[in-house]
Amino acid sequence: MTQATSAARTSHVAAPDHSKANKAIGRRNLRNGLIFIAPNFIGFLILILIPVVQLFYIGFSKWSAFGDPKFNGLTNWVRLTHDSNFQAAFVNTIVYSVVHIPLTLAIAFGLAVLLNTNLKGRAFFRTVAFFPYITSIVAAAQVWNMLFDAKSGVINQIIRFFTGGAWAPGWMGDTKWAMVAVIIVATWREVGYFMILILAGLQTIPGELYEAASIDGANGWQQFWKITVPCMRPTLFFVLVTLTIQSFKILDLTLVMTNGGPGTSTLMLAQYIYQVAFNRQDFGYSGTVSLVLFALCMIVTLIQFWYNNKKEK
């Protein structure tokens, strides 16, 4: 409803017949807008945007981090086409994200809705859910590796109980199952983080809306679908975009848990970017891979934007 109102206002502003008044409104809006944005934008422009933009040059250069990058056209991009590690990392990152994003979103949303009720002890459960995010990643990797141990791990003991002892996955030592393990741990780790964001969104919905709906005789489910879901659209959109970008950029978890292995089975783009830059001192090529990762994120994000706008109109 928010967007509908503002969209109506925009079209009104853009109408040609009130051009003078509109110009004044436009100027006032521009001035007000810039005043609000300035404190953040100045810092953002100088400290983040300028370095980021340089990447678009570095990705087309040869650079060892020392001195200035030397433009080398498409050389780096040609290298991408026959770099099997890059290709493995590309596929791994997509596989990881395709499973991790919906899984995390669904669990985090369910958890947030549950912990937004009058459930007794909800403050405790919220804190518990946030704990994986603040637990030392080294400790987390250690315990999960123990749980996933192919021979003696608790997880495989349970699986063997159901398969009659015949079969259990090899997890960390197996090129196919290592990714599954990584996804499980990543989801465990991040659910609480996104739950907090969703919870904040749920809390921002004004209570009056529910009150009015109750008076109109809407039951819980109707309220959920008619109020909670539409009001949550901006928040869910934000969570989805952030989750998507974070998933594509996953680095520290696999670095500590598997270091990309076994083989290249859990090597992710972000780790490859780091490795090529800082281990091989090849910042130019690393920049090229970063641009691929950037393009990947942006394509998905723009689709999400487009879909979100379409839904809102």
Partner 1 sequence: MRKVSPLFKAAAFAGAAVMLLAGCGSSNNASGGKTEALDENAKTTITFAGWSLDTTPEFQTLADGFMKDHPNITVKIKQYSADDYDTQLTSDISGKSQPDVFPIKNLQKYYTYAAESGGLADLSDIAASYDGDKNIDVSQYKLEDGKYYAMPYRQDSWVLFYNKDMFEKAGVSAPDGTWTWDDYTKAAEELKEKLPAAGYDAKSVYPMYQHGWQSVVQGFALSQTDGAYDDYFKGDYSYLKPYYERALKWQKEGLTIDWNTVNSTKVQYQAQFGTQKAAMLPMGTWYAATLVSQQKSGDADTFNWGMAPIPQNPDAATSDTPVTFADPTGLAVSSNISGQQLAAAKEFVKWASGEKGSEALAKIATTPAYFSDSVADTYFGTDGMANDDLSKKAWTDHKTNPENPVGAGTNTIQDVLNTVVHSGIMSGTSSIDDAIAKGTQDIKDQGVLQ
Partner 2 sequence: MTAASITPVAGAKSPSADIPFNKKPVSPVKVVGTVIGYVAMIAVAAFTLLPFVWMLLASVKPNNEVFMVPFKWLPSVWHFENYINIWTKSDMLLWVGNTVFFAICVTFLQVFTGSFAAYGFSRIKFAGRNTLFLVYIATMAVPWQSYMIPQFKMLSSWGLVDTRWSIILLQAFGAFGVFMMKQFYDTIPEELSEAARLDGLSEFGIYSRIVLPLSGPSIAALGIITFTNTWNDYMGPLIYLRATNLQTIQLGLKTFISQFNADYAMIMTGSVLSILPILVVFLIGQKQFIEGIATSGMKG
Report the Cα 157 to chain-centroid distance in Å.
Answer: 33
Site for partner 1 in 29-58 (CB under 8 A): 49-50, 53-54, 56-57
Site for partner 1 in 113-132 (CB under 8 A): none
- In the complex, the smallest distance separating the C-beta of residue 67 from partner 1, rounded to whole angstroms, is 6
Residue 279 binds partner 1, judged by CB under 8 A: yes
- Looking at beta carbons only, is 59 or 192 nearer to partner 1? 59
CA distance 266 to 166: 26
Site size toward partner 1 (CB under 8 A) is 44
- Residue pair 261/216 in contact (Cβ under 8 Å)? The answer is no
| φ, ψ dihedrals at 228, nearest 5° | -60, -55
Across-strand partners of 70? 62
The residue whose two tokens read 């008044």 is: 21
Q: What residues have CB less than 8 Å from 298, skipping those under 6 apart?
A: none
CB-hemisphere CA count at 13 Å for 66?
Answer: 1
- Looking at beta carbons only, is 109 or 294 nearer to partner 1? 294
Site for partner 1 in 162-221 (CB under 8 A): 172-173, 175
- Residue pair 104/194 in contact (Cβ under 8 Å)? The answer is yes
- Which among partner 1, partner 2, none contacts residue 280 (Cβ within 5 to 8 A by kind)? partner 1
Tokens of 182: 């990584």
- Which among partner 2, partner 1, none contacts residue 262 (Cβ within 5 to 8 A by kind)? partner 1
- In the complex, the smallest distance separating the C-beta of residue 153 from partner 1, rounded to whole angstroms, is 11
H helices of 82-121, in order, are 84-114
- In the complex, the smallest distance separating the C-beta of residue 142 from partner 1, rounded to whole angstroms, is 7
Q: What is the DSSP letter of 148?
A: T
Residue 66 binds partner 1, judged by CB under 8 A: yes
- Looking at beta carbons only, is 164 or 313 nearer to partner 2? 313
- In the complex, the smallest distance separating the C-beta of residue 159 from partner 1, rounded to whole angstroms, is 18
Residue 67 binds partner 1, judged by CB under 8 A: yes
Residue 83 binds partner 1, judged by CB under 8 A: yes
CA distance 179 to 89: 12
Which of 3, 72, 85, 157 touches partner 1 (CB under 8 A)?
85
CA distance 113 to 313: 26
- Looking at beta carbons only, is 167 or 216 nearer to partner 2? 216
- In the complex, the smallest distance separating the C-beta of residue 101 from partner 2, rounded to whole angstroms, is 14
- Which among partner 1, partner 2, none contacts residue 265 (Cβ within 5 to 8 A by kind)? partner 1
- In the complex, the smallest distance separating the C-beta of residue 15 from partner 2, rounded to whole angstroms, is 14
**In 3-state terms, what secondary structure has residue 38?**
helix
CA distance 140 to 294: 29
The residue whose two tokens read 């942006």 is: 298
- Looking at beta carbons only, is 167 or 281 nearer to partner 2? 281
In the chain, DSSP assigns E strands to 61-62, 70-71
Chain contacts with partner 1 (rule: CB under 8 A): 49-50, 53-54, 56-57, 64-69, 79, 82-85, 138, 141-142, 145-146, 172-173, 175, 257-265, 267, 275, 278-282, 302, 306, 309
